[in-house]
Amino acid sequence: MTLHLCSLLQLPTGSTVSIHKIEGINPILRRRLADLGVLEGVRIRLKGKGPFLGPITLECNGQLFAIRRKEASRIEVNLA
Amino acid sequence: MSAIALVGNPNTGKTSLFNTLTASYEYVGNWAGVTVEKKIGSLKNGAGKLIDLPGIYSLHPLSRDEGVAAQYLIEESPEALINIVDASQLERNLLLTLQLLEYGKPTVLGLNMIDVATARGIHVNSEVLQDRLGIPVLPLVARTGKGCKEILSLLGQSADIPPVRFKLHYGEIAEAAITSIELELQPMKDLPNHRWIALQLMEQNPVVLDFLKSRMDIRKLVKLGDACQSELQRKNLALTLPQWLRSVRMDYIRSLCLEVLDRADQKPHNLTERLDALLTHRFWGLPLFIFIMYALFKTTFDWVGGPLSDLVDGLISGPISEGANSLLGFLGASNFTHALIVDGIIAGVGGVIVFVPQIFILFLIISFLEDSGYMARVCLLMDSTMERMGLNGKAFIPFIIGFGCNVPAIMAARSIEQPKDRMLTTLLMPLMSCSARLPVYALFAAVFFPERQAFAVLSMYVLGIVFALILCKIFSWLLFKNESSVFMIELPPYRMPQIKTLSRSTWEKGKGFLRKAGTIILAGSVIIWLVSYAGPGGFDVAMDDSYLAKFGGLIAPLLAPLGFGTWQAGSTLVPGFLAKEVVVSTMNIIYHAPDTTGLENQISQVFTPLSAISFMIFILLYIPCLATVGVIKKETNSWKWTFFSMGYCLVLAYTVSFLVFQSGKLFGWS
């Protein structure tokens, strides 16, 4: 299987992908994401981008949540 | 008396269930982190105590409210647990359930929001779930009370809840470590389930680690865990031990969900999708938020609250005052009693009661926002602004609650993960204009800006936020060296608040105001009237010769550069520290005003529009009230920060009022 990797932030709104790697994220945030089941291998959907370069909205396991773009850029996803 | 604890993920309806199962009422809302403290109530059927705990995702706490829940489970020993799970989010919720089952106490699983799940086409087979986990599973709708009777009757015989036999196998390597740790724990008394302790220890749960550290030497235990971890790494099974335990649990949950969940007809959240497309729109989101806030104030002052307040005012100044007058005359009351009741109590307390309708309307709208799910979206919209100021968007929920009262708002800051963000939110809270300050604005706006009352009052709130943001930047830079903040917020599905919840939640907020009217405002009014009635020359002196005037006269020169250097204005500020409402009570007493119109006339003679603005700003900023000071001390656990919050407010209020008044004068306004 070939991997098409890019950061979560580069995706167009509305796309669903699977998480390849979460790296270099603040440990508190990483724990919070894990609490919501946002882990490597999980499907995630980019719902929307907030105003003034604000947070982006994501959906994972049916749960909606928002994180900042800086952090989203450190989530590497697999387009395939 | 047996104790039963409610445990579950944030925003799954624990407090709603708590309110139904007990006769008490606690704060509910639609965001993660409403409950930040342990709450205790008595079960309606007298079967024992029910303990409501803050929501947690795992037993490993990140924020302070989560620490409360983890601490409770290890230090106290409930007879049974009710684990509330969100039926539409089963997978995520079960991760906590497994850890609770390992805790080993009899447990009931409350499958809540079964209506939401069904509406979304998610079907949960509760019989299979019950069978696999080996504990009673009860479908529930806590908001409407469906299924609560069954829970209550089950708890009626809490001894009958079967003990938990659930045991997850973590693989040979981990199981060997668990067994050796359990062996080490053997001699210890009064510990919760040893297997649970061992597992939490291996997950490096800080609460469990600290608890054990205080009772024994844990180095050996930690070594056992480390050895297990290297073994797992050597076999390429996992990078860390906590990760391994988690993945075993996740695998189990996944296979369980395959059996239990039928998601064939799953639909997206249609309402939530559509509302979010509008309310969190990248261009329209913020203007809509500002519009909603404007509508909030417009309703409170112009559309509904204002006219209602006028009705109450008519009632107090008319039938009630006159009735009291004639009754006192009929009873032959002395001049002193007569004056005390009419000029002191009715003027002082009545002057504040007039604002009850406006305050209740404000609380009603805030309750609506809280229960709808919009609060979390506000955090999202405000985050980029807040980030620039060194804080995060999550602080906005406490800020909006602060518009009602600063005390619960400071408590609400507990759900913010980073200590620095929590501290900043707490310190800045006094700048959020609470409902107690509202009578002052309402009074002055009615006198000087009758056409634009809502706008004038809204500007005060906006001013408070603007100063909070500016100071946030400064404090973050000076005191916290711009330490970065993190932001993540769960966005719950929107829902239509129920009338029952709304009326209850409005009443609970407003009750405090009424209670204050009967206690601190009443007492304040009597004392202020007394010191205005008595003076160095004896009783019944002219107001200008009273003790109150002498005292106010001491402060007045300090206030002269701000435009309100009269003893009358000066003497309102000190009692205002006890409760901000007393500022208006004091004015009513000082100006001997029979009704609001009378008071407005008096005020229009003493203040100019410019000095009125300066006074309103001063009241907005000058000091957190006594109750707020108390809660700041409690939450920061430091007198230094408490005095700091009082000090910066005073300096800020003086500076801003001074600048506004003096520059206004330069421009020739007065």
Helical ranges in B76-159 per DSSP H? 90-103, 114-119, 126-133, 148-156
Residue B282: how many other CB atoms lie within 10 Å: 15
Residue B541 has pLDDT above 60, yes or no: yes
Tell whether B597 is in a known binding site. Answer: no
Q: Which of B57-66, B92-101, B589-598 has the highest mean pLDDT?
A: B92-101
Q: CA B387 to CA B237: how far, in whole Å?
A: 39
Q: CA B33 to CA B102: how far, in whole Å?
A: 25
Mean model confidence pLDDT for chain B: 91
pLDDT digits (tens, 9 = 90+) for B200-222: 999 999 999 999 999 888 999 99
List for chain A the helix, strand, coil content (%; round to 5): 20, 40, 40
Whole-number pLDDT of residue B481 = 78
Q: CA A21 to CA A77: how far, in whole Å?
A: 7
Residue tagged 């109530």 (tokens): B41
A78 to chain B, minimum CA–CA distance in Å?
21
Average pLDDT over residues B99-128: 93
Tell whether B213 is in a known binding site. Answer: no
B476 contact partners, CB below 8 Å, separation of at least 6: B389, B390, B391, B420, B424, B482, B483
Q: Give chain B positions within 8 Å (CB) of A32.
A: 57, 62, 417, 488
Tell whether B97 is in a known binding site. Answer: no
Q: CA B296 to CA B290: how far, in whole Å?
A: 10
Determine the residue of chain A that is closest to B416 in CA distance: A28
Tell whether B35 is in a known binding site. Answer: yes
B482 to chain A, minimum CA–CA distance in Å?
15
Contact criterion met (CB below 8 Å) for B556 and B569 = yes
SS3 B590: helix
Q: CA B624 to CA B646: how far, in whole Å?
A: 6
Instruction: Please state the φ and ψ torsions of residue B31, each to the nearest 5 degrees.
Output: -155, 165
Q: Spell out a b/e string for B75-105, using b for 16 or more CB atoms within 10 Å of the CB, else e.
A: eeebbbbbbbbbbbbbbbbbbbbbbbbbbbb
pLDDT digits (tens, 9 = 90+) for B324-367: 989 999 988 888 999 999 889 998 898 889 889 988 999 999 99
Strand partners, B261: B124
Residue A2 has pLDDT above 90, yes or no: no
- All structural domains of chain B: 3-160 (3.40.50.300), 172-262 (1.10.287), 288-481+501-666 (no CATH)
Closest Cα partner for B136 from B123, B153, B122, B114? B153
Q: CA B543 to CA B555: how far, in whole Å?
A: 17
Q: CA B152 to CA B474: how far, in whole Å?
A: 52
Helical ranges in B299-428 per DSSP H? 305-315, 321-331, 335-339, 347-353, 356-372, 374-388, 396-404, 406-412, 419-428
* CA dist list (Å): B502 to A50, B37, B140, B635: 30, 22, 21, 28
Would the CB atoms of B417 and A32 count as touching at under 8 Å? yes
> Which amino acid would we find at residue B551?
F
B473 to chain A, minimum CA–CA distance in Å?
18
Residue tagged 């639609």 (tokens): B30
Instruction: Please state the φ and ψ torsions of residue B6, each to the nearest 5 degrees.
Output: -95, 120
Closest Cα partner for B615 from B554, B543, B549, B664? B664
Q: CA B45 to CA A54: how far, in whole Å?
A: 49
Residue tagged 């882990």 (tokens): A39
Tokens standing for A48? 């929307």
Tokens standing for B319? 């039938």
B34 contact partners, CB below 8 Å, separation of at least 6: B11, B15, B27, B28, B370, B412
Tokens standing for A76? 């590497």
Q: Hey, is the C-beta of B276 within 8 angstroms of any chain A C-beta?
A: yes
Dihedral (Cα; B321, B322, B324, B328), 10-degree rounding: 140
pLDDT band at B189 (very low <50, low <70, confident <90, very high): confident
Whole-number pLDDT of residue B485 = 75
Q: Give chain A positions within 8 Å (CB) of B383.
A: 50, 54-55, 66, 68
For B36-40, the CB contacts below 8 A with 24+ separation are: B36/B64, B36/B65, B36/B68, B36/B411, B36/B412, B36/B414, B36/B415, B37/B65, B37/B68, B37/B411, B37/B414, B38/B68, B38/B69, B38/B72, B39/B15
Q: Give chain A positions within 8 Å (CB) of B62.
A: 28, 31-32
Would the CB atoms of B486 and A71 count as touching at under 8 Å? yes
Whole-number pLDDT of residue B512 = 86
Would the CB atoms of B383 and A51 count as touching at under 8 Å? no
pLDDT digits (tens, 9 = 90+) for B594-626: 677 788 888 888 899 999 999 999 999 999 999
SS3 B531: helix
pLDDT digits (tens, 9 = 90+) for B390-441: 898 999 999 999 998 999 999 999 989 888 999 999 999 999 999 999 999 9
A28: nearest CB among B283, B286, B486: B486
Whole-number pLDDT of residue B225 = 94
pLDDT band at B168 (very low <50, low <70, confident <90, very high): very high
Whole-number pLDDT of residue A53 = 85
A10 contact partners, CB below 8 Å, separation of at least 6: none
Q: CA B377 to CA B382: how far, in whole Å?
A: 9
SS3 B669: coil
A51: nearest CB among B92, B282, B387: B282
Whole-number pLDDT of residue A1 = 54
Q: Give chain B positions within 8 Å (CB) of A52.
A: 286, 384-385
Contact criterion met (CB below 8 Å) for B80 and B155 = yes
pLDDT band at B593 (very low <50, low <70, confident <90, very high): low
Residue B1 has pLDDT above 70, yes or no: no
Q: Cα B290 from chain centroid? A: 22
The H or E element spanning position A43 is strand A43-49
Tokens standing for B201? 């220890």
Residue B51 has pLDDT above 70, yes or no: yes
Determine the residue of chain B that is closest to A31 in CA distance: B62
pLDDT digits (tens, 9 = 90+) for B497-516: 999 889 999 999 899 889 98
Whole-number pLDDT of residue B101 = 95
Would the CB atoms of A66 and B489 count as touching at under 8 Å? yes
Q: Give chain B positions within 8 Å (CB) of A19.
A: none
- All structural domains of chain A: 12-78 (2.30.30.90)
Contact criterion met (CB below 8 Å) for B563 and B610 = yes
* DSSP summary character for residue B540: S
Q: Hey, is the C-beta of B57 within 8 angstroms of any chain A C-beta?
A: yes
B350 contact partners, CB below 8 Å, separation of at least 6: B316, B317, B320, B321, B588
Tokens standing for B244? 């391994």
Residues making up chain A, counted from first to last: 80
Q: Give chain A positions within 8 Å (CB) of B492.
A: 64
B650 to chain A, minimum CA–CA distance in Å?
34
Contact criterion met (CB below 8 Å) for B257 and B90 = yes
Q: Give chain B positions within 8 Å (CB) of A65.
A: 488-491
Tokens standing for A75? 């989530």
Tokens standing for B589? 């007493």
Q: CA B437 to CA B454: how far, in whole Å?
A: 14
DSSP string, B155-193: HHTGGGSPPP-------HHHHHHHHHHHHHHTT--S-S-
Closest Cα partner for B140 from B132, B149, B131? B149
A67 to chain B, minimum CA–CA distance in Å?
5
- The complex's ipTM? 0.94
Chain B 193-252, CB below 8 Å of chain A: which residues?
Answer: 246, 250
SS3 B245: helix
